[in-house]
Structure 1
């Protein structure tokens, strides 16, 4: 009896030990799986968080870029609101644009005063076209001045390379005077001029053809007095440009009217008068036209 009882107790003990071992193994596996699943869950949560944060960060940037592109595109593709009458050189509104405008233009730039004139225009929030001569941009100083004026936002026009009287030179030289200057200007500022003015306002049939082939608008002017000896004085010039009258050269009636294309030059007396001229024209209700809003051939 005792042997049988001892044997049964040993069997029960062994079964209990085995059961305990199996239970521990099962719990260990279960814990291991739980930790692995938790790590996966945390990793996924972190990844999802990073993805969400990234998406949220990129979204405004994308919207901002889109707005900038729209604005840039809007500025670049803005429709012209004025055109130049080739016969009269006056600036005319397209549709319902403001009629009380005048266009300021500065020839023979950049000689000695073009940069100062550009600064005055910028201070007065006025625009102008600077018509350039090639012999003024052969050296580094002239090229730097041209680039600065362009970077200030002023359109650059072609006034021929060496300022000849166009009809008095051969056709091949006419072509060279115009095209070589366009090439030179493009080399310096990265753009070819969109406006052309012949020295002395003298064109030929051939020069007109070249200007058209080069995609430029040809323009002269409606009035300007600073190249007359009688008006090579800042005070006299100021009065003449503001009134449109120049009695000392027998212009006893006003040439100032809506659409006037006013000729000035890179000269000391014009530089001194410029700020007052802008103020005087505005006092009479005129707006300085933005040349970038003029219809071009391109």
Structure 2
């Protein structure tokens, strides 16, 4: 991303913006295994053993070139705070990656997830989508869920409603053109939410998703530190925040290779939200 250094400076100034307090989990439905990820709720007893990745079960045909009309979103109720965790039944966790896609780091993260047959959420920036469409198509092919992270990663609390709408709507359009469907999830840059973001997200059919554990990879604290934070923060219902763009993310790539097998070996099931129909 062209604004990597700016992102890093902003994040250092806004690290406290993500302290949001506890939030409910109503409305979060999780996908279980590769065969049923698009339509099945995770059973209370936990999902069946992980099976070989079958990408055909997830394939979403890109709509690039067809143009408007766009898919009409189903409007949602307006929340007053974001979802910060997933249901705690079973030992489910969710991995999320922000700011991408980035050709230097995202492919390595996708490779590691594929190696362990795990799916994750990617909150994408529109300006990165349009120059890395093949990576978004790969996310669709391999069953990952993508969310809206605005077009240029601005601080929404400094913008008017029209500007916020443009950032969100243009990114949803880019995701639909490349991923194959409009996103159903939104994450505010820096975790800085305001009323307009909640309202506009609901109008566009997107639930607000925050996180439970911040890996702090955006501060490049060292691979070992990132691994320790994720492993020590692991618990049922946890949503982990990491990044695959917005700066040098080589530590994020290396850390995932260490903590992902640890989580699986300790009985955690890495899941993603179920698509709403």
Asked whether the two chains share a fold, i.e. TM above 0.5, the reply is: yes
Q: 2:210 is paired with a residue of what secondary structure?
A: coil
Matched, 1:279 2:269: no
1:206 paired residue number: 196
C-alpha spacing 1:199/1:87, structure 2 compared with 1 (3 Å):
closer
1:189 paired residue number: 179
Q: Could you tell me how far 1:203 is from its partner in structure 2?
A: 1.3
**Aligned 8 A contact 2:218 2:243 in 1:** no
1:91 paired residue number: 86
C-alpha spacing 1:223/1:79, structure 2 compared with 1 (3 Å):
closer
The RMSD of aligned alpha carbons is 2.5
Question: What is the 5 A alignment of 1:1-298?
Answer: 77-79=39-41, 87=82, 89-93=84-88, 98-111=89-102, 112-139=104-131, 142-227=132-217, 229=219, 231-244=220-233, 256-266=234-244, 267-289=249-271, 291-293=272-274, 296=276, 298=277
Q: Could you tell me how far 1:257 is from its partner in structure 2?
A: 2.2
Q: Could you tell me how far 1:128 is from its partner in structure 2?
A: 0.4
Q: 1:92 is paired with a residue of what secondary structure?
A: coil
Q: Could you tell me how far 1:125 is from its partner in structure 2?
A: 1.3
C-alpha spacing 1:280/1:121, structure 2 compared with 1 (3 Å):
same
**Aligned 8 A contact 2:96 2:239 in 1:** yes
Q: 1:91 is paired with a residue of what secondary structure?
A: coil
| Distance of 2:175 and 2:195 partners within structure 1 | 24
Q: Could you tell me how far 1:183 is from its partner in structure 2?
A: 0.6
| Distance of 2:38 and 2:191 partners within structure 1 | 31
**Aligned 8 A contact 2:82 2:208 in 1:** no
C-alpha spacing 1:81/1:164, structure 2 compared with 1 (3 Å):
farther
Q: 2:214 is paired with a residue of what secondary structure?
A: coil
1:52 paired residue number: none
C-alpha spacing 1:193/1:272, structure 2 compared with 1 (3 Å):
same
Aligned length: 204
C-alpha spacing 1:220/1:75, structure 2 compared with 1 (3 Å):
closer
1:70 paired residue number: none
| Distance of 1:81 and 1:165 partners within structure 2 | 38
Q: Could you tell me how far 1:118 is from its partner in structure 2?
A: 0.9
| Distance of 1:106 and 1:186 partners within structure 2 | 19
Q: Could you tell me how far 1:218 is from its partner in structure 2?
A: 0.8
Q: Could you tell me how far 1:226 is from its partner in structure 2?
A: 3.0
TM-score, L = length of structure 2: 0.67
For structure 1, list consecutive stretches of 5 or more residues without a partner in the other structure. 1-72, 245-255
Question: Which has the larger Rg?
Answer: 1
1:248 paired residue number: none
**Aligned 8 A contact 2:212 2:238 in 1:** yes
2:66 paired residue number: none
**Aligned 8 A contact 1:81 1:293 in 2:** no
